[in-house]
Homo-oligomer: A and B are copies of this chain.
Amino acid sequence: MRIAVLGGDGFVGWPTTLHLSNLGHEVHIVDNLSRRWIDTELGVQSLTPMDSIQERCRIWQQETGQKLNFHFLDLREYDRIRNFLAEYRPEAVIHFAEQRAAPYSMKTDRHKVYTVNNNVNATHNLLAAMVETGLDAHLVHLGTMGVYGYSSVGAPIPEGYLDVEIDTPAGKKGQQILYPTRPGSVYHMTKSLDQILFQFYAQNDGLRITDLHQGIVWGTHTDQTRRHDQLINRFDYDGDYGTVLNRFLIQAAIGYPLTVHGTGGQTRAFIHIQDSVRCIELALSDSPKAGERVRIFNQMTETHRVRDLAEMVANMAGATVTYLPNPRKEAEENDLIVKNDQFLALGLNPTTLAEGLLAEVVDVAKKYAHRIDRSRVPAVSAWTKDIARRVEHDPEGKRLRSVS
């Protein structure tokens, strides 16, 4: 199959590219390399030494004989994405091409504005271009569990659609609706906006769309990134792009206390990078038909409270845990029960944190510990000006900034 991977130079995009190429697909990476520019802006870099996309593609071809095609293209340029689709006519499009860090999206007003402008226009330009070129491709989009919000109604989170009953003059009537969204950051909000775009274009133009509501991806290596040192995936540990788990791993590797924000009672959903790329393969194999509603999968395999994760990593690495003020505006404690029946039914066999985490500590965090810039680990993007002031003036807040 001819597949376009938009954002194919990114953290999940790159291993997805390799996974699909390894399966024999003709893969076209479309990327504006914005993630690398943001590293430059923030003055941070991947823990793992990461080559240019051109060099990575060269190595992959050398190792496998499979060619990867790289297109330097910004989805905000409508004409260029339309021309790309018209010329290459991919049979499937995997869309990762959005700014994907919640803390980065909340950093300043300009980061909010950039995130909305970039993400909404990228997704909408793609949809409009698919309609305009008459492309009958299956669009698989990487969304986030965060669109649901974390204030559960007390029932397990279903896969995208919620059964509700509504009072009508003729009595109660059952209906299935898009789960009422409650995004917790500007980044997550853009994925909520995407859902509405997808609903419209599936309904009006019959586009075939699958939206993957992904949990926090952990792990660095997949079978394909392991094939050569220069194929290694990125590992972000800075306060903006590093997920909570990656920051714990780094803190453990350099012998510092693991920093939990708030009580650590926040429950989050997780998935290993190897399972993530496998899910995309599974989603591709099972397209909705034209005219069907958007297919939504929850792409996660387990849930954990942040403080339990911290304990798990601390025990493995012999580190301690410390509690700091939370720069995010969120519930201190939440339960999270998530359905993921659809991927399990398609044959997903998850890698658990309990079995895979030690390898991350040893093979990644400790191996590259000499490359860690300690000053970049703390998460300092505050969700509101009030929180920023509190974190700033609180003695704990000073510790937050100076913990490294």
Contact = CB atoms under 8 A, between A and B. Distances in A.
B110 A116 contact: no
A189 B112 CA distance: 21
A180 B166 CA distance: 12
Contacts of A184: 204
Given A154-B170, A181-B196, A109 B121 contact: no
Contacts of A193: 120, 193, 196-197
A170 B335 CA distance: 15
A13 B158 CA distance: 43
Interface in A57-100: 78, 82
Contacts of A173: 153-155
A195 to B, nearest CB: 9
A168 B181 contact: no
Contact of A124 (B82, B116, B205): B116
A117 B121 contact: yes
B183 A189 contact: no
Interface stretch (A27-35, A129-137, A309-317, A318-326): A129-137
A393 interface: no
Residue from A155, A182, A196 with most neighbouring chain B CB atoms (10 Å): A196
Given A78-B109, A116-B124, A165 B164 contact: yes
A175 interface: yes
A180 B177 contact: yes
Interface residues of A, number: 54
A129 B155 contact: no
B109 A129 contact: yes
Interface string A156-189: 0000001111111110110101101111101001
A163 B154 contact: no
Q: Which of A78, A116, A383 has the most C-beta atoms of chain B within 10 angstroms of its own C-beta?
A: A116
A375 interface: no
Nearest to A76: B117
Contacts of A192: 196
Nearest to A195: B196
Given A153-B166, A167-B163, A116 B121 contact: yes
Contacts of A134: 385
Most buried by B among A78, A113, A175, A197: A113
Given A164-B164, A196-B189, A131 B113 contact: no
Contacts of A186: 200
Given A128-B113, A329-B204, A183 B196 contact: yes
Nearest to A125: B113
Contacts of A404: none
A54 interface: no
A158 to B, nearest CB: 10
Nearest to A131: B109
Interface in A373-391: 383-385
Given A82-B109, A196-B189, A166 B155 contact: yes
Interface of A: 78, 82, 109-110, 112-113, 116-117, 120-121, 124-125, 128-129, 131-132, 134, 153-155, 162-170, 172-173, 175, 177-178, 180-184, 186, 189, 192-193, 196-197, 199-200, 203-205, 329, 383-385
Given A189-B200, A193-B193, 17 more contacts: A78-B113, A82-B109, A113-B128, A153-B168, A153-B175, A154-B168, A154-B169, A155-B167, A155-B169, A155-B173, A164-B164, A164-B166, A165-B172, A177-B180, A183-B200, A186-B200, A205-B384
